[in-house]
Amino acid sequence: MSVLLVGAGPGSADLLTLRAARALESAEVVVHDRLIDPSVLALVRHSAKLINVGKGPGDGFTQGHINDLLIELAQRYERVVRLKGGDPFVFGRGGEEWLALRAAGVAVEVVPGLTSALAGPLAGGIPVTHRGFSRGVVIITGHGADDDAVDLVGLGRSELTLVILMGVAQRARLARALIDDGRPATTPVAVIERAWTASQRTRRSVLGKLGDLDVHAPAIIVVGAVAALDLSETLAFVGSGVSVG
């Protein structure tokens, strides 16, 4: 009995690793997240079974249900793939599934994916680190209810790039918390929607106006000086006409 935990990368199928593509082509059943790009699912052979276990607001499978399903499928099929967006172990709960499978006596093979936390900003022309702008990056989740706030203490005063996954619904609260903790309201921000897909869109503003941006999940929020850069425009300051390097 075995399950392959496979990272689907940040979007388009051509950003999959070769190992991930081979796993999909040989799978008998693929248990996948809700937001996996159709171009990735198209690589699964026609005879394979596709099971969507996507968790949307107020619906979908619980993590416990997914764990139980994977164990059940591993007992029935030889090639089971659990396909997760980005990298399974960057806020993908891959570790929880791995532990549940191993506890049930199921062997696990991990196929890492390109995390959207780093590749997503680059889809909008934004390097998460760049000399003279940022010497490091912090990745956090913004997901959660209003009464289950992410602890941002210290991140407001930091000059490191902040990449927020699953933070669109909480963007106004996150912005207020960062400003209260010391980040200037004029700090550049960018939101990259559906990175590396045909419907990708990048919106830029400043931290004080993040809550007013018309943006929709799935999206990645970038906070920091690098959010004002666009590599596709020869490292220009967006909207300023000032060239950088």
Q: What is the pLDDT of residues 52-90, one digit of tens each?
A: 998 665 566 899 999 999 999 999 999 999 999 999 999
Q: Where are the domains of the chain?
A: 2-111, 116-237
pLDDT tens sequence across 209-229: 999 999 999 999 999 999 999
State yes or no: is 55 an active-site residue.
yes
pLDDT of residue 234: 57
Indicate the CATH number of 2-111 among 3.40.640.10, 2.40.30.160, 3.40.1010.10, 1.20.1540.10.
3.40.1010.10
pLDDT of residue 153: 85
In this structure, how many other beta carbons lie within 10 angstroms of the beta carbon of residue 100?
18
Question: 2-111 and 116-237: same fold?
Answer: no
CATH class of the domain defined by 116-237: alpha beta
Q: Stretch 129-139: mean pLDDT, rounded?
A: 94
pLDDT tens sequence across 155-187: 888 889 999 999 999 999 999 999 999 999 999
CB 105 within 8 A of CB 99: no
Question: Strand 161-165 vs strand 137-141: parallel, antiparallel, or unpaired?
Answer: parallel
Identify the active-site residue in 49, 55, 214, 230. Answer: 55
Model-level pTM greater than 0.85? Answer: yes
The band of 240, judged by pLDDT with boundaries at 50, 70 and 90, is: very low
Q: Stretch 190-207: mean pLDDT, rounded?
A: 95
If you average pLDDT over every residue of the chain, what do you get? 90
Q: Stretch 123-138: mean pLDDT, rounded?
A: 94
d(CA 201, CA 188): 17
Identify the active-site residue in 33, 37, 87, 230. Answer: 33
pLDDT of residue 243: 35
Report CA-CA distances (Å) from 214 to 123, 141, 171, 190, 205: 19, 20, 11, 12, 11
d(CA 184, CA 181): 9
